Amino acid sequence: MTTPAIETHGLRKSYGDKTVLDGIDLSVGAGTVTALLGPNGAGKTTTVHILSTLVRPDGGTALVNGCDVVRDPGGVRAVIGLTGQFSAVDGLLTGEENLLLMARLRHLGAKRSKARVTELLEQFDLVEAARKPLATYSGGMRRRLDLAMTLVATPSVIFLDEPTTGLDPRSRHTMWDIVRSLVAEGTTVLLTTQQLEEADELADRIAVLDGGRIVADGTPDELKRLVPGGHLRLRFADAATLDGASRLLDESARDDAGLALTVPSDGGVGTLRAVLDRLDAAKLEVDDLSIHTPDLDDVFFALTGKKDQNGKKDQPDRVDMKGTEP
């Protein structure tokens, strides 16, 4: 168990009579990546803004590296870096000048500033555009510059609010590589995303946020095991074997045309072994087998899509998977 780099308890925030955050409990271990996954308006940006001292919470506590965001914002600011959902760059300067500005504000000293800026320009593929005004940058280039600006002083906790929104697939993968190498160096990352694939790729833990509440929290695999939809697909050589298997596994659904059976499964090895053992015992040979685990899309819809027609939410209770691991 690592000590948490980010910890919140009962974090609340409302704008007017609209409750945006309704008691967020979050714990992010040092050196790990947590993804905040949620639909539009779930409160992801608000959470990140509170943790990065931009917005004061109405209630609850939030600690970053042990510093309270309300009582000691200076302590928090000294260790964090934020790349917001919308790029936060100085549009009247060039890319290089933006980076140098950050380096000066982080007091790196003239020589180290220059070295660090050169290094970042190379890492983020901005060397050619370095001396050009930002007006000539594409959205993806601005986004990369934005992240480079965050990394000038190598903060130990980084918030990335939808870091890959608007990036092409190639830039998206490079962004992922960057996040991975940050983590390899021991940086703690909290990122928000609407893309399940991204959370799956990067995160050690995923917290699903909906309507200002965390409705699920766990590793990507734990989340996937939560939802129904996982199954085994067994294909047989002939109709006779299919008949036999179908009679044996009464919870299965048969597909005559495909000579296949679909058996519900939680995706665990136990179910798989049980099914195969029963078929073995009956001397029924399986031609082909595939395992379908629900992907995060299924999780997403199962957890956040439970809205009835009146728009009133049927809030699922928080699903906590701690301890579900054997």
Ligand X SMILES: Nc1ncnc2c1ncn2[C@@H]1O[C@H](COP(=O)(O)OP(=O)(O)OP(=O)(O)O)[C@@H](O)[C@H]1O
Nearer to another protein, 179 or 215 (CB): 179
Nearer to another protein, 116 or 231 (CB): 116
Cα separation values, 161 from 13, 35, 84, 96, 241, Å: 18, 10, 5, 23, 53
b/e burial code for range 70-102 (CB count within 10 A of at least 16 → b): eebbebbbebbbbbbeebebeeeebbbbbbbbb
- Does residue 19 interact with ligand X by CB under 6 A? no
Nearer to ligand X, 5 or 48 (CB): 48
For the bound state, the minimum distance from the C-beta of residue 17 to ligand X, rounded and expressed in Å, comes to 11
Quick one: angle between helices 110-123 and 95-105, nearest 10?
140
Tokens of 124: 């983020």
Query: Of 5, 6, 11, 20, which one interacts with ligand X (CB under 6 A)?
Result: 20
Specify the amino acid at residue 247.
R
> Which residues would be at the binding site for Mg ion (CB under 5 A)?
44-45, 85
- Does residue 279 interact with another protein by CB under 8 A? no
Query: Of 32, 34, 45, 164, which one interacts with ligand X (CB under 6 A)?
Result: 45
For the bound state, the minimum distance from the C-beta of residue 168 to another protein, rounded and expressed in Å, comes to 13
Query: Of 104, 278, 306, 307, which one interacts with another protein (CB under 8 A)?
Result: 104
Do residues 150 and 81 make contact, with C-beta atoms less than 8 angstroms apart?
Answer: yes
Query: Of 32, 34, 46, 265, which one interacts with ligand X (CB under 6 A)?
Result: 46
Options 92-100, 203-211, 227-235, 286-294: segment touching another protein (CB under 8 A): 92-100
- Does residue 43 interact with ligand X by CB under 6 A? yes
For the bound state, the minimum distance from the C-beta of residue 161 to Mg ion, rounded and expressed in Å, comes to 6
- Does residue 30 interact with another protein by CB under 8 A? no
Query: Of 32, 34, 47, 174, which one interacts with another protein (CB under 8 A)?
Result: 174
Query: Of 28, 33, 37, 42, which one interacts with ligand X (CB under 6 A)?
Result: 42
Q: Which of residues 180-219 bind ligand X (CB under 6 A)?
A: 194
- Does residue 44 interact with ligand X by CB under 6 A? yes
- Does residue 310 interact with ligand X by CB under 6 A? no
Dihedral sign (CA 192, 195, 196, 199):
negative
b/e burial code for range 152-186 (CB count within 10 A of at least 16 → b): bbebbbbbbbbbbbebeeebbebbbebbeebbeee
- Of 34, 37, 82, nearest to 202 by C-alpha is 34
N-terminal to C-terminal alpha carbon distance within the chain? 16
Distance CA(299)–CA(117), nearest Å, equals 41
- Does residue 127 interact with another protein by CB under 8 A? no
Check residue 3 and report its DSSP letter. P
Distance CA(180)–CA(184), nearest Å, equals 6
- Of 50, 40, 53, 65, nearest to 10 by C-alpha is 50
Residues at the site binding ligand X, with contacts judged by CB under 6 A: 15, 20, 38, 40-46, 85, 194
Residues that bind another protein (CB under 8 A): 49, 52-55, 74-75, 77-82, 84-93, 97, 101-102, 104-107, 119, 122-125, 133, 144, 149, 151, 153-156, 174, 177-178, 181-182, 184-186
